[in-house]
A = this chain, B = another copy of it.
Amino acid sequence: MLENALDARARTLLRTLIESYIQDGQPVGSRTLARTSGLNVSPATIRNVMADLEELGLVHSPHTSAGRIPTAAGYRLFVDALLEIRAPNREQIDAIEARFNPGATTQDLLDTAGSVLSSVTRLAGMVRLPRNRQVALTQIEFLRLGDRRVLAILVIDGKEVQNRVLELERDYAPAELQNMANYLNAHLAGQSLHMVRGQLLAEMRSVRRDLDAMMLAAIDLGERAVGEDDPDDVLVAGETQLLEYDELADIHRLRQLLEAFHEKREILSILDQCIRADRIQIFIGRESGLEWFEHCSVVTSPYSVDGEIVGVLGVIGPTRMSYDRVIPIVDITARLLGAALNSRNEPPKTR
């Protein structure tokens, strides 16, 4: 491993170098490093160490006689092994927690998470919308729109409503639809969507012969209403914060970045890479696989409801961000969002 090639002194130096660079964005020379590192060594010695670090590809000079700046690999080592995460202070947590209004809708909570992330970190915040599997189905209704077109209305958590238009093989009379809804409501109400789905599938297999045609159709309809997952989406907040960082000042890159936030496709692909991890995850520079991410880093954390991971949130900003500040914020935002979503789910359960 890389980090084994480094003695304690070299690590300290790399750490202070990166911290210094993060703070004021300028190449760090041996002199300043000698002063700020706390080590009692001369600049010359530091220069030697620097040469080693450069050889290892952890730092590099923008030109012959400038200080050193960290490379992507340097940052990587930094966040993996060198970073001392600042313990999130109590009042900050409280301040964030206060912004999650317990009575709010899911959508509101997600919005809040996005705006917390972007405003507290001063970076762009992202929230991957949760898959709708954990929420409880309160009620389902069908409404005939026209020939072969039926509107399915799912009421979820007694609060939120989702519509799905279904295109069907044959026409159904309103009374038929009403019956189907009654059947489904009687059997499925109060369960979580993914349980509903599982149950529908099981039922369809096991009792296929015993159910009359209406019930089959009802299950089919219900299955299709629940089945089509919501279009995958992601919420982005505070992208204009990124304008403030001059390392991203290149107009064209900047535009590409902002457009990526609009498109959302690439953001989504990044976040989806993170949903598998169960802890904070960090992408530095092009680690995410996108070339135009050159000078950007991403810090994400999954958030979970009731023990199961339902989404990811995070921030995106210049590689040169205060990881020690950002990481705990992303972490607690994820926890608090999870908790807020969770507490919203409790009441229906205890019914």
Which residues of chain B come closer than 8 Å to A258, judged between CB atoms? Answer: 240, 243, 258
A231: CB under 8 A from chain B? no
Interface pairs (14), CB distance under 8 Å: A138-B145, A143-B155, A145-B155, A145-B158, A151-B155, A153-B153, A153-B163, A161-B163, A161-B165, A240-B259, A243-B258, A244-B255, A249-B251, A258-B258
Query: How close is A23's CB to chain B, nearest CB, in angstroms?
Result: 21
Q: A163-B163, A249-B251 are in contact. List 18 more A-B contacts (CB 8 A).
A: A139-B145, A141-B141, A141-B143, A143-B153, A145-B155, A145-B159, A146-B158, A151-B153, A151-B155, A151-B161, A153-B153, A153-B163, A240-B262, A243-B251, A243-B254, A243-B258, A244-B251, A258-B258
A110 to B251, CA, bound (A): 29
Query: How close is A109's CB to chain B, nearest CB, in angstroms?
Result: 17
Copies in the complex: 2
Which residues of chain B come closer than 8 Å to A145, judged between CB atoms? Answer: 138-139, 155, 158-159
Question: Are A143's CB and B139's CB within 8 A?
Answer: yes
A130 to B139, CA, bound (A): 32
A residues engaging B (CB < 8 A)?
138-139, 141, 143, 145-146, 151, 153, 155, 158-159, 161, 163, 165, 240, 243-244, 249, 251, 254-255, 258-259, 262
A5 to B163, CA, bound (A): 63
Which residues of chain B come closer than 8 Å to A249, judged between CB atoms? Answer: 251
Query: How close is A172's CB to chain B, nearest CB, in angstroms?
Result: 15
Top 10 A-B pairs, shortest CB-CB distance: A243-B255, A161-B163, A240-B258, A240-B255, A240-B259, A146-B158, A243-B251, A141-B143, A151-B161, A145-B158
A145 to B153, CA, bound (A): 12
Query: How close is A239's CB to chain B, nearest CB, in angstroms?
Result: 8
Which residues of chain B come closer than 8 Å to A244, judged between CB atoms? Answer: 251, 255
A243 to B262, CA, bound (A): 15
Query: How close is A305's CB to chain B, nearest CB, in angstroms?
Result: 22
A146 to B158, CA, bound (A): 7
Query: How close is A196's CB to chain B, nearest CB, in angstroms?
Result: 18
